[in-house]
Structure formats: C-alpha cells, structure tokens
Amino acid sequence: MIDWLAPKYLAWLLHGFGVTLALAAAASATATWLGFGLALARDSRSAFFSGPAAVFVAAMRNTPLLVQLFFWYFGVAALLPPGAVQWLSQPHAWHWTLFDIRWPTLETLSGFVGLTVYTTAFIGEEIRAGLRGVPAAQTHAAAALGLSRFAVFRHVVLPQAVRIALPPLFGQYMNAVKNSSLTMAIGLAELSYASRQVETETFRTFQAFGIATLLYVGTIAMIEAVSMASTHRHAVAPSR
C-alpha cells in the first residue's frame, strides 16, 4: 500500500510547481519578443546586425544550459559588488496598495536570465525559418501592387510566417518547461527542487517524484493541446 504525502509536503510540491510555471511562462514570453528581433537581425542585410546575431545563436545553441546557468549565477555574481550580491540574496518586499511586490532572489534572476537567453536562440531560429518559408513571389506581388515594405511585412509575410512557425514555437515552450528543472542546480526552488526536498525528508521517492512527473506531463499535455488548437485555427482561417 502506498502512503500519501502529508499536506505540508504537497504544499511544497505545489509551490515548486507554481515557480516552474511562472519561470517558464516569463522566459517563454520574453524569449519570443527577443527571438523576433533576433530573427530580423539574422536576416538583416547589414553585417553589423547579422554577424553578432549569428555568433549569439551559435554560442547559445552549442553550450549546455546548465553551464549557462552557472555562468549567470556564479560568474556574473562574481563581477558584482559584494553589497549588491548580499542585497540580492536577501528577501525584499514593497507594499503597494493591496499588494506586496517582492523583489526576485539572485537564484530567480539568474534562472530567468539564463533560461530566457538560451530559449531566445532557439525561438529566434524558429521565427527565422517561418519568415523564410514565405515564398518570395508573394512579397514581390504585394510590392507590385504598391504596398510599402512595412505593409508587405505586416499583411503578407508576418501572418504566413506565424502560421509556419507556430508548431515549432510551442515545442520550444514545452522545452522551456522541461529545461526549467535545471535551475534546481543553482538553488531555485522549482518543482524538481521541491520534489527532491520532499524525498529527502520523507524518503518517499515514488510519491515525491511521481507527483512531480504527473505535473510535468500534465503541463506539457496542456501546451500540446493549445498548440494543436492554435495550429488548426490558423490552418482553417484562410478558407473562411
């Protein structure tokens, strides 16, 4: 017979799950905007933009995320003044009307920056592939009709690029959820960290990691469902 975890430990897991969702959502949203700019820079005719963008993509995609997280947590922190590191390592909160605004810890900031920067390189390439997937003949035809370059991009290229890039983009969002588990290595109390803490205190390995696995699987399944629905909606949109 399997013994259930006490409410205290379930609360730990749910809190870690909330941290995982918040981290993955914030990193994915930020990386999407940065990735869009990165894709435009990569396809720029100016070497001033395309060169550094290509170097950035190569560096991020060819180094492990764990190493990058260590760089942001240990490497960058070593360059900061000792007072700044101490301030970041302590909890801070500001009361604003009915809410308390909490400043993120050094672990949270490092995890967010590391995951965002890493994910940006992959999302940028997915968006770039979507932009390149639009036939050049359509842009030439739109320009021949008198549309400006911005209007061609806005009304002809971008909608089709989004349709092409949407499925792989959702794949990157799934990866962000899974990759967030690596932030436990720098002490961020996300779901994997919480499950490890529960297992250490209770010695109930199956229950701790089993619940964490179900939460991960459920989250990925929900993203997959949203991806399929979004892809279907964009696929039938032109026929309406």
* CATH number of the domain enclosing 197: 1.10.3720.10
Q: How far apart are CA 211 and CA 20, in angstroms?
A: 14
Q: Which of 166, 159, 177, 74 is nearest to 119 (CA)?
A: 177
Helix or strand run (H / E) with residue 104 = none
**Which 8-state DSSP code applies to residue 97?**
T
Say if 62 falls within a structural domain: yes
Residue 183 counted as domain residue: yes
pLDDT at 236: 61
pLDDT at position 56? 97
Task: Give the chain's domain count.
Answer: 1
Give the whole-angstrom CA distance, residue 224 versus residue 208: 25
Q: Where are the beta strands (DSSP E) in 30-138?
A: 92-96, 99-103
**Strand 92-96 to strand 99-103: parallel, antiparallel, or no bridges (unpaired)?**
antiparallel
Residue ranges of the chain with per-residue pLDDT less than 70: 1-3, 92-101, 234-240
Flag whether 162 is in a domain. yes
Does the residue 239 lie in any domain?
no
Record the pTM: 0.89
Q: Is residue 128 part of a domain?
A: yes
Q: Among 104, 119, 110, 130, which residue's Cα sits nearest to residue 30?
A: 119
Domain that holds residue 112: 7-77+103-232
Looking at residue 218, its pLDDT comes to 97
pLDDT at 2: 53
Quick check: is 181 in a domain? yes
Asked whether residue 240 is assigned to any structural domain, the reply reads: no
Q: Tell me the residue ranges of DSSP E strands in 85-144.
A: 92-96, 99-103
